[in-house]
Amino acid sequence: MSALSIKPVENAEFGAFVSGLEPNAITGDDRDAILRAYARAHGFLVFDFGRWLESDELHALTAIFGKNEFAPGMINGIGKRRRDDEEELTIDQQIAALESKGVDPYMAFIGNVDPKTLEKRKIDEKFYGEWEWHTDMSYIPVPPTFSLLHARKIPTAGGDTSFCNQVIAAAELPDELRAKITGLEIKHDSTYSSAGIIRPGMAEPASPIEAHGHPHPIIRRVPSTGEEALFLGRRTNAYVLSLPLEESEALLDEIWAHATQPRYCYRHAWTVGEVVVWDNRMLMHKRSPVENDDVRFMWRTQTKGEAVEAAWA
Compute CA distances 248 → 175, 189, 205, whole Å: 19, 14, 16
166 touches ligand AKG (CB under 6 A): no
- Residues in contact with ligand AKG, counted by CB under 6 A, come to a total of 10
Bridge partners (DSSP) listed for residue 274: 48
Residue closer to Fe ion (CB basis): 195 or 310:
195
The angle at the Cα of 214, spanning 254 to 187, to the nearest 5 degrees, equals 20
CB 43 within 8 A of CB 60: no
Select 216 or 287, whichever has its Cβ closest to ligand AKG: 287
Q: Is 287 in the site for ligand AKG (CB under 6 A)?
A: yes
The yes or no reply on residue 136 touching Fe ion (CB under 5 A) is yes
How many residues contact Fe ion, by CB under 5 A?
Answer: 1
**Which residue, 46 or 110, is less far from ligand AKG as judged by CB?**
110
Separation CA 30–CA 20 (nearest Å):
10
Vertex 200, ends 196 and 71: CA angle to 5°?
85
Q: Which member of 161, 191, 248, 301 binds ligand AKG (CB under 6 A)?
A: 161
CB contact at 8 A, 127 and 197 = yes
Q: Which does 149 bind (CB under 5 to 8 A by kind): ligand AKG, Fe ion, none?
A: ligand AKG
- Regarding 216 and contact with ligand AKG (CB under 6 A), the answer is no
Instruction: Please state the closest distance from residue 134 (CB atom) to Fe ion, in A.
Output: 6
Residue 80 is a binding residue for ligand AKG (CB under 6 A): no
CA atoms within 13 A on the CB side of 168: 18
Residue 194 beta carbon to Fe ion: minimum distance, rounded to whole angstroms: 5
User: Residue 69 and residue 82: Cα distance in Å, rounded?
Assistant: 19
Structural element, H or E, at residue 276: strand 274-279
Out of 170, 181, 298, 311, the only residue in the binding site for ligand AKG (CB under 6 A) is 298
Binding of residue 301 to ligand AKG (CB under 6 A): no
Binding residues for Fe ion (CB under 5 A): 136
